[in-house]
Structure 1
Amino acid sequence: MTAHPKTAMVLAAGLGKRMRPITDTMPKPLVKISGKTLLDWGLDSLAEAGVTKAVVNVHYFPGQIVSHVAGRDAPKVVISDESEALLDSAGGIVHALPELGERPFYIVNADTFWIDAGSPNLARLALAWDATKMDILLMLADIKSATGHSGGTDFLMAPDGALRRSKGDPAGLVYAGAAIVHPRLFRDAPAGPHSLNGYFDAAIATGRLFGMAMQGHWITVGTPDAIPLAEAAVAAALAQSPSAPAELTSAPTELK
């Protein structure tokens, strides 16, 4: 049985321009939804999945994120500093590779999260991972079980989990901002800014991009008016999920 990843990359360096004016004074990952920062939603899911080290990249108001995670032990947070220049999703990962190690690791976006229904989704993702046939395994959401998503679908999934671009096909699924990747993917990667999307397409071309449909409710928060919708979705999902941790509440968001 494949061991669950013990390291993770949390992409938290973005500017959060669509979240203004809230992000005029704070980074988007520290916006709170139901009393918990977006960043902590992701880090808590990683801790539950057994991750012991999470690399968090920072660029915009980096000191606020550094201070916020300073006392965290589960997972232990290592900061990847992009203060001088944003490196985009893949560039940020390449920059952090020395901390991520030589084994497969999770990638989690810091502006999306989910409420599990049943087994934790990151644990399910690890069980679905097969390094012999995959370079990337994406967690995918049904658009009907999503809040805050304004676009179409991203991928069509074959019966064996293999993915291809959906080009908006309603039968497709949405990338839910969590994945497992093998570091060999970045062996010859450039050091500058570039996106993960190119790696998704390269893996499709070689038949090595796979997906897993998540269980539960997926939430993305792009603009200030999405916050109350997200909090309502959290409350509704928790009410339907007896396995959800009891400490999660629908407390008012703090924007200070």
Structure 2
Amino acid sequence: MKAMILAAGRGKRMMPLTKNTPKPLLKTKGKPLIEHSISALKKAGITDIVINTAYLGEQIKTHLGDGKKFGVQLQYSTEQHALETAGGIIQALPLLGGQPFIVINSDILCDYDLSSLALPLNSLAHLVLINNPEHHPDGDFSIDTEQKITFNKNNRLTFSGIGIYHPSFFKNYRHTQCALALYPLLKEAINNQQLTGEYHSGYWHDIGTPKRLELINQQI
């Protein structure tokens, strides 16, 4: 299985830390954020990884190289301007192949076992959901008894930034060459009952602001 790490964002909420450094290279636990995502994938036996880059992307490529020093194989999908989540994945599809692939954010810390992530039958995408953090108290989605993700307002959970997708999930947008958010595609899949999910109760942190980065480093 292949995987993609999302690393093209400008990191505006992390300013001034990201003025001269791309967000994925900010350090926590003594190493850049993106290295935690690479380590989690390698631990799961996933070593064929695509990384999309845009803002200060050359720094990411220079730091990570071809991935050999981490025991993985890295390829890059370079965006002239950040294409948002879905747009970035669509541009990278030729590198990701024809089988389901994992997508993970480069700015999260999580103890979810990526080796257990699989795409259920009749599902085009499967998301890992977590308890709502303080900065996102209303959550995103609910999960019914058959793992289907719904818009039910009860028992809402937050999307962790970890998911597995079949290339067909993007088939109606494959020729899109502009910025495209992921939510409209998720909404379409929910309406077609082709989006599933699971709940992860373990460790998870979204390093989205300087304050959150400071707090997590203080905890460490």
Aligned residue for 1:23, secondary structure, equals coil
Which residue identity lines up with residue 21 of structure 1 in the other structure? P
CA contact (8 A) 2:25 2:33 kept: yes
Distance change >3 Å, CA 67–CA 231, structure 1 → 2? same
1:79 pairs with 2:76: yes
Which residue identity lines up with residue 79 of structure 1 in the other structure? Y
Distance across 2 between alignment mates of 1:191 and 1:71:
26
Distance across 2 between alignment mates of 1:54 and 1:65:
14
Give the drift of 1:232.
4.6
Give the drift of 1:231.
2.8
Q: Name the residue aligned to 1:231.
A: 217
Q: Name the residue aligned to 2:142.
A: 156
Q: Name the residue aligned to 2:42.
A: 47
Q: Structure 2: which 5+ residue stretches go unaligned? A: none
CA contact (8 A) 1:10 1:55 kept: yes
Distance across 2 between alignment mates of 1:71 and 1:35:
21
1:99 pairs with 2:95: yes
**Residue in structure 1 matching 2:105, options 101, 106, 109:** 109
Distance across 2 between alignment mates of 1:181 and 1:71:
24
The TM-score normalised by the length of structure 1 is 0.79
Distance across 1 between alignment mates of 2:137 and 2:22:
23
> What is the number of equivalent residue pairs in this alignment?
216
Distance across 2 between alignment mates of 1:75 and 1:215:
28
Distance change >3 Å, CA 166–CA 40, structure 1 → 2? farther
Q: 5 Å matches for 1:78-227?
A: 78-82=75-79, 84-116=80-112, 120=113, 122-126=114-118, 129-130=119-120, 132-143=121-132, 146=133, 149-166=135-152, 169=154, 171-189=155-173, 190-227=176-213
1:19 pairs with 2:14: yes
After TM superposition, which residue ranges in structure 1, 4 or more long, deviate above 6 angstroms? Answer: none
1:189-225 Cα offsets, whole Å, 9 max, x none, are 1222101111110110110111011241110011111
Aligned residue for 1:138, secondary structure, equals strand
Which residue identity lines up with residue 158 of structure 1 in the other structure? D
Percent identical residues: 33
Distance across 2 between alignment mates of 1:57 and 1:166:
33
Q: Name the residue aligned to 1:3.
A: none
Aligned residue for 1:85, secondary structure, equals coil
The TM-score normalised by the length of structure 2 is 0.92
CA contact (8 A) 1:149 1:220 kept: no
